[in-house]
Structure 1
Amino acid sequence: MRDRPRRTLLSGISASLVGTAAGCLSVLDETDETPSEESDASDDPFADLLAAVPADTADESAALSAVHESRLRDADVQDLVGPYDITHGTGLAELFAGDTGTVSRHVTVMDEGLESPFVTVFETESGDFDPARDIDAALETDLTTREHDTGTDYEFAPLADAGVVAALDGVGIVADSASTVDAAIAARDGDAPAVRDAVPTFDEGLAAFADADIRTVTTDDEWSWTYDALEPEDGEYAILAATVSEPDTLEIHHGLSLVDDSLVTDDLVDRFRAQLRSGGREIVSSDVDGSLLTATVEIDLAAERHESPGRLEAGELDADEQYVEIEVGAGDPTPVDELRLELDGEPYDEAIWADGRDEIEGGDTLLVATEDAEPYLRISLVHEGDRGMPTHTTLHADFEWTVDYDLDARTLSVRYEDEFPLDGDHVILALYDADDAEAIVSEPVRTTRPWTGTDLSTGDGATLEDVAPKTAVYVCWKEPTRSKALASDRIQPIGEATVDYEYETKTATVELAFEDDRTRPAAEYTVLRDGEPAATQWRDEGETVSDGDTLEPASVPVGTTISVVWGANDLPIGSGEADSSVSFDLTVENGTVTLVHDGGRPLPVSGLVAEVHIDDEEIDVPLDERTDGPFASGDTVTLIDELERDDPPLKVRVRRDGEYIDDAYDGEL
């Protein structure tokens, strides 16, 4: 058996090469141009590296990448075509992260099987590969010199994380195991078959775009996922490739080979081309040669490198200012005649927004006349070039409103306090149930347009009748949604309640607090004990309550929840839990379980019991049998001397005279 560790180097490999390419290409028009004819395998510019890829690294689901790193690096197109390399985003790519100029060319073969072999064969720019110097990964051991059965000497070391590395005659090899390196050298020296012998479709796929600087051929099924008319067995291979044809021109190639030309229908060809239409680029060649479909598009690299003006940031909407200023946060100088400013999707007057400029770049300010602006206006700057990217911002407005609620009359008053004139036709009051107001999807329980036909100015207001407490009100612009709110408020219950607890007397003290000197009917307030009305209520002691009034429920055990609700809808205004003000901890060491007093008041040990839970078992340990004095902060008591099981989860519940005090835990129950 071959030694194959887990392929941690390969984590992150893309599952769909065809899908990656589809978003990068487009078809605008076509010419009938046939790709270059296949040449002899020895003419392939990667023939020397391919010869060192052993046959058993590939099967029916394999993928192969041949990448001319230095060409792509010189053209600065790694970001554009990097995803075409099957090592992209994997640990293999990270091996050279410390020095991106190390690798000149590389060939990689792998498949999706986590236990399958993988190999990358590469050459360096210097022609002198030193693993200890040139890769950004720790070696598990020092390099050792080995002699292969073919007579070739090579340097070898296992990587600290996963995989192995070897160096010979200026060529580097990274693989899953020593046996894969051994097979690679045997293939390179002609003593074992190489991958091109095992998978002839790799040769066919590589030859489809023989001069490309990056080529990835996959024999795994990508086609049935992309084309409904195809089954997994209908395809031979898919290829993605790219060529730096000129300093500022990059050609992107895409190919699909089927097992028989009878599968190539007009509908399939149309769908193949449709997969390439999303990028807005012009196709320079496309062809159907028997069962092979190919297409090539060109990218203008100069245009690709150009950063469109973007990162817009809108200023404030101020009635005293003639314009709203829109800051351009980034972008290269771009002619104004290539740009278009839109307000809510409609083109805006260039004479205003460009303010006489011929070009726009990062740091510039665009203008929108205040009379043309409104809250939540969507502002877009569109670059009309082939690779131009639109950018957007929204004009938010921080207007002042006041909301008043008359509890007795159940009326809600909303008043506009700002100076910016608002079209009353677009202002909507939306009322939500307060419990639903923050839900992602919720509908208002009521809406109204009180200012229709008027322009709002400072002091204009409206009053809504029959508004219940526990209501959230939103002042909205054009749509009764929270996302278009100009202001919001909640109708809060009257008063707040606090709960204190005295452990020794088992008494809770509940106190009401009001913001002013008002009094309220006592019947509006109900004290709950674990959700049920308590035996003692304010209504039993008088008709009204005011700020500072208290109530003292008695015989309240530890753990009881005391809460206060207001009104017919039982709106909560405060709560608290009866707490012993004592905490405990557990330690387990060498089979000894110890209870620790972790803070709070001292406890007499008389009547104090530790109830030890070990899985489904329960053991009561009276503390007065283990210690004499009060159990105080920092004190410890041994509960179990020899725990029979290794590291079981533990829970200890401490009670005094049968009443719960607190729990302590060790491990997950």
Structure 2
Amino acid sequence: MPQCPRRTLLGSIGTTMTVALAGNAVSATDGRSTSDAGEPAFDSLFDYFPASAGSDSMAVVTRDHEQQRKANDPYGRMSTGGGLGIDPESISKHAFVYTTDDDEFSMPIVVVVAGDFELEDDGDIRETDGGVEYERREDDEMVAAVTETVIVAAEDDERIDEAFAANAGEAQRLLDAEPLLEEALGLFDGEHADYTVQIGEGYQFSELIDDAAIEYKAQSTTVLDPDTLEMNIGIAFEDATEVTDELVDALTSELNYMALTGEPTVERDGSLVTITAERDLAAEREANDHESPGRLRPEEDIDLEDDELEIEIGRGDPTPVEDLTLEVDDEEYDRDIWTNGHSTLEKGDTIVIDMDDVEPNLSITITHDHAAGTSASGTSILDRFEFEYDYDVDAGTLAIEYADEFPLDGERVSIAVYDERPWYHSREEEIEPRTTAQPWSGTMRSGDGTTLQDIRPGDFVLVCWDGTTLQDSIAHFHARPPGTVAFDYDFERKTLSATLELEDERERPADAYELLIDDESAETQWSDEVDTVSSGATIEVGDVEAGAAVTVVWGDDDVRVGGAHPRPRIELGFDEGQGAIEHVGGDSVSASELTLQVWTEDDSNEIDLGEEIDGEFEKGDTVSVDADADEIRHATLQYDADGHVLSVGQAVPSRE
């Protein structure tokens, strides 16, 4: 790739510049002037990508913000530069490369082009091995090099040097090392609003292509007019025989979430598949402005003698029923029944299902098919029933008694005992119950019960319908160790007291309870002085910092009894006469460690108390708030305990 003169790389750039992308911000203030050359082509930016920035799986992304601003996209544009409060409208173009072979979002090299960013302070003057002088900036994750004509951001200084060496032709460039990238970047001609190329692994549509190996994917967007975007997708497979009609149909289905002006155009050239479609932004805006029917509200008092169960639509604009689908337990329901005679549905209307189809844990979902894809809203019917529990921690028994009026088919009710809580939709390996039981048969009515053995503190017991998972549960019980614990913290003295509260008069072994500070056993324990404890037993520990993780555990399995994060406590009040929030009681705390978050009806404002008050924030001090008392919804005072942010005070204005 030919070397481009540095003065043409950025064109007209203001005297201050920044790099800020995907939450990372690296800033610079530069007193240098730049030339008035025209906007650069993206291929000149690629010269700054060294071969060392590549990996087996990676993506190269370009965005032309000037082009993107021409489109009235209902989903907006990806913001760049917001990390330092930079106006995204001042950014023209940028390009970056990142790896896609793991779950992390990595951007080894970033180039941001054009801008007039007002930032403070100067950077350190550095020079690359090749003699390029730049101002160095950094944050927690990236380093930025600012020259008279370009900003390069990377993960470290070594990569910065490699980027400038690549631009000067003194080191291999990424596109020279990876010819597939250059081939894919040249697949679509034109002036693109964005262009993305990916090689390797981690494709978002991998479930659609089975085991077909891909060489690269290229995707571009071109603004045809404010209401029309041309989408181009190119996928190069390693083996042309893998390109079947079914695979092409699956790839084209990825456009179903968009409103298109017509059918996509598909071309097949050996192993290369290209798809072209035009997005109708006006239709997408109309679909986004239309509120789909949803927020289903089944009637609360269900009478099994009724013919139908009524379900109210809690939200939604008038929508033709032909565009709606109702699913009951994941099966499409008869439209002639559920629409209840309506030709359109909107907020306040009622749909129905036959009472014969109503059973516990019944899921219902209404789906709206529209120009921008689909919108769905769902709920469950009869997903919670009343059971009473009597747990004997010493005997390890749990008595369960049904206490609801709804008759249940006992053969479909089971009990599952888990060693820990089986969370919904866990991404980890599914947790299996330690034991299961099906103690009932026939029709279950109020008063029917059973007793489980070997129930341990910490166990989660689920009563389930047609299954044994948390999704199947209609009731649950958490077996807890005996007692609770109350904490009292003296912020000034840094002392913490922990008091056991037991429900009965029975004494418990003192060594069964342990106090942990940041997961380490505290120096003082209940068992230090006594063998048994009763309700009210208290110990005190010193040198406990605010924000520490304090926990009391029980038994050999360290089952949690209770826990807290000790913190200062400050009582706040509103001084409506001064338009301020006042410290009216509680601890005195260094103002530099406090932040006041104020929420109004339409906005929120964060105030750093260290900039308002010297020394400590103490009783009688006030902080001015740029809002009228009648506009403030509430205020929260937050304390920074070595990076652990704790709420230490609340204030709600009087509405009298």
Instruction: Give the TM-score taking structure 2 as reference length.
Output: 0.50
Instruction: Give the TM-score taking structure 1 as reference length.
Output: 0.49
